[in-house]
Amino acid sequence: DGGITQSPKYLFRKEGQNVTLSCEQNLNHDAMYWYRQDPGQGLRLIYYSQIVNDFQKGDIAEGYSVSREKKESFPLTVTSAQKNPTAFYLCASSPARYYEQYFGPGTRLTVT
Amino acid sequence: ELKVEQNPLFLSMQEGKNYTIYCNYSTTSDRLYWYRQDPGKSLESLFVLLSNGAVKQEGRLMASLDTKARLSTLHITAAVHDLSATYFCAAEGETSGSRLTFGEGTQLTVNP
């Protein structure tokens, strides 16, 4: 079964702790993306990667970090520097530019 | 900077009626995408519009693209309750690489 998996589905953390969200795809897609969605709003791009070992900042990269050591995996770390980390985080992948992006099921992060 | 605006943001309609959601974007865009999101869920790809004049239809939904007007529309025909969801359009700019810029979304409620 090809697809994108994100884990965990729900994540609770205390303020000041770093947390890493997992994103894995077995679609053999080159490009991967991380978005943040706040209630009642659209998606905002955090980071994206078009090839292994390379990634670029999106519109709201501050307080986040990523790595792309393998084609299948694009983990996102939410650091303690992120001022308001509580949100729904969506990972996506696409075969290449000009192709639609396919989304994972999302991780809902709550920081208290 | 590419900006994407949708209207209306909220739409309540009766079953059997027709309506159109509008998506305007601010700069030249290569591609336009429509996604559907059910409450608490991820995004599902509906349409990919690749060129001026493109029209795609799936069931009761039809999407079109006018690149000269920088406008895409999502037309709903004879709405049914199952179409209740939030609909997002997203544009890919000519110089933005594979980045998508999303609109705020249109929350559609179809009432019996």
List pLDDT tens digits, range A13-32.
Answer: 999 999 999 999 999 999 99
Choice among A75-79, A81-85, B18-22, B29-33 with the minimum mean pLDDT? B29-33
Distance from CA of A58 to the nearest CA of B (A): 8
How far apart are alpha carbons A74 and A68 in whole angstroms?
5
Which one is predicted more confidently, B94 or B28? B28
**How big is the CA angle at B86 (ends B85 and B91), to the nearest 5 degrees?**
140
Phi, psi angle pair for B80, to nearest 5° = -125, 160
Distance from CA of B75 to the nearest CA of A (A): 20
pLDDT in the model for residue B96: 63
Q: Give burial (CB, 10 Å; 0-12/13-18/19+) of A77.
A: middle
Residue A4 pLDDT exceeds 70: yes
Residue B53 pLDDT exceeds 90: no
End-to-end CA distance of chain A: 36
How far apart are alpha carbons A31 and A95 in whole angstroms?
6
B100 and chain A in contact, CB less than 8 A: yes
- Strand A10-13, strand A107-111: pairing: parallel
Which residues on A lie below 8 Å from B97 (Cβ)? 48, 50, 56, 97
Residue B95 makes CB contacts below 8 A (sequence gap 6+) with none
Choice among A3-7, A51-55, B26-30 with the minimum mean pLDDT? B26-30
Q: Using the beta-carbon criterion (under 8 Å), do A105 and B43 form an inter-chain contact?
A: no
Choice among A29-33, B12-16, B24-28, B70-74 with the minimum mean pLDDT? B24-28
B46: nearest Cα among B27, B23, B28 = B23
Residue B110 pLDDT exceeds 70: yes
pLDDT in the model for residue B51: 83
pLDDT in the model for residue A29: 95
Residue B29 pLDDT exceeds 80: no
How far apart are alpha carbons A59 and A42 in whole angstroms?
13
Neighbouring C-beta atoms of residue B112, cutoff 10 Å: 7
Q: Using the beta-carbon criterion (under 8 Å), do A94 and B30 form an inter-chain contact?
A: no
How far apart are alpha carbons B104 and B99 in whole angstroms?
16
Measured between CA atoms, the residue of chain B closest to residue A51 is: B98
Q: Give burial (CB, 10 Å; 0-12/13-18/19+) of A48.
A: buried
- For tokens 């700019």, name the residue: B93
